[in-house]
Amino acid sequence: MIQPTLPAELKSALDAKLQGLPRSEVAARAALISKTYRDGGGSGAIRSETDALAYALARMPATYAAIAASLNALCEVRPDLAPETLLDVGAGPGTASWAAAQTFASLRSLVLIDDNAALRALALDFVKGSARLGELTYDKGEASDLIAKSDAADLVIASYMIGELGETGRNALAELLWNKTRDTLLIVEPGTPAGYARIIAIRQRLIAAGAHVAAPCPHDGSCPLSAPDWCHFAQRLPRSRAHKQVKGAELPFEDEKFTYVALTRMPTTRPYARVLAQPAVGKAEISAKLCTADGLAMARTPHRDKAAYAHARRWRWGDAVDHSRPPSSCA
Ligand SMILES: C[S@@+](CC[C@H](N)C(=O)[O-])C[C@H]1O[C@@H](n2cnc3c(N)ncnc32)[C@H](O)[C@@H]1O
């Protein structure tokens, strides 16, 4: 399990780059980039070094936290996973590569792909001097062209990237990503209904191509959720002083909502269920919304069942529920 916070080496590289930059300028750029994303635009608004830094300060801690949470969930289901090679597509400032390097001591080759010159330059600055990431390869260009030329990797990640493509490009990219996946493909998206729709479409497409879901779903069947409901999770992370200044935020933490799918070549032993919302803990019972292989279930654990109640109290939104401790009653 890795922490949802930027590794110390990355945080100090980011802090060093921010030294001397007027916060008001970074805040103005961050606000513009956020507005572009909210209006459905992509990373094209990130053109200068200040833009890239503004993105890294405003978004990298949160996207790192979401990727870390997704990798933690994957590793819980696949404790044997020890990838040696990583392909990070739409790598931006290198967020997923840092999270993967923290997670897997086995990684020895990291290849990053992105078309954005400013984000690539910043990523290369961040890894300068890093023992773990200093030797990575970062290719600049259109993802589909570069993936086609890349070697297959044990682990392929596309985080917060596929939303920047149209449907046709996304479908083509999904197939390319899968073709280059030796073991596991992880796709992470914002936890919005649109992010979920993109994930679920790729999930369905790649299952049809032979993929198996390792996480979050405990099955390869159709998603049992229907609109207006959607599958997403939340990861809490602390806010730095600089982040609060740039975002004009008061709270010392933020909750990043995200959605993800980890697809594997070989079937995995899956948990009994995944917790789909923060359980409601009452005096009489704990109720938890679960996704199981048989569909959605509302698990109710009465207080009188002391051992089961104590166990269910530990469930958090996004957790896997083990087969050895299924809920005492499901409806
Ligand atoms: C929102 S950023 C996410 C960066 C990083 N993966 C993260 O999780 O923080 C999306 C990245 O995808 C890249 N990207 C989007 N479409 C691309 C394409 N067709 N080819 C190459 N890179 C692309 C953008 O340049 C940008 O760096």
The predicted structure's pLDDT at residue 207: 98
Q: How far apart are CA 67 and CA 64, in angstroms?
A: 5
**Residue in 10, 115, 142 to alter for ligand 1 test, most ligand atoms within 8 A of Cβ:** 115
195 lines ligand 1 (CB under 6 A): no
Helix crossing, 23-38 with 49-77: angle to 10°? Answer: 60
110 lines ligand 1 (CB under 6 A): no
Q: Which of 36, 111, 164, 186 to mutate to test the pocket of ligand 1 (most atoms within 8 A of CB)?
A: 164
**What pLDDT is stored for residue 242 in this prediction?**
83
Residue nearest to atom 14 of ligand 1 (CA): 90
Question: How far is the C-alpha of 68 from the C-alpha of 157, rounded, in Å?
Answer: 12
pTM reported for the whole predicted model = 0.96
For the chain, 331 residues long, the average pLDDT of each consecutive 10-residue run is 96 92 88 88 91 94 98 97 98 98 97 98 95 93 97 98 96 98 98 97 98 98 96 95 83 94 97 97 95 95 92 95 73 61
**What are the backbone angles phi and psi of residue 9, rounded to the nearest 5°?**
-65, -40
For the CA of 66, the closest atom of ligand 1 is 8
What pLDDT is stored for residue 330 in this prediction?
Answer: 62
Identify the residue whose C-alpha is closest to ligand 1 atom 26: 92
Ligand 1 binding pocket mutation candidate from 95, 114, 140, 256 (most atoms within 8 A of CB):
114
CA-nearest of 191, 177, 176, 199 to 261 is 199
Give the model's pLDDT for residue 41. 85
The finding on whether 143 has its CB within 6 A of some atom of ligand 1 is yes
Read off the pLDDT of residues 119-157 as tens digits, 9 standing for 90 and up.
999 999 999 989 889 889 999 999 999 999 999 999 999
pLDDT value of position 34: 87
CA angle 214, 191, 144 (to 5 degrees): 70
Task: Give residue 143 CA to ligand 1 midpoint distance, Å.
Answer: 9
Nearest CA residue ID for atom 25, ligand 1: 116
pLDDT digits (tens, 9 = 90+) for 205-224: 999 999 999 999 999 999 99
- pLDDT score of 282: 93
Q: Is 114 close to ligand 1, i.e. is its CB under 6 Å away?
A: yes
pLDDT of the residue at 48:
94
pLDDT of amino acid 134: 85
Residue 66: φ, ψ to 5°: -70, -40
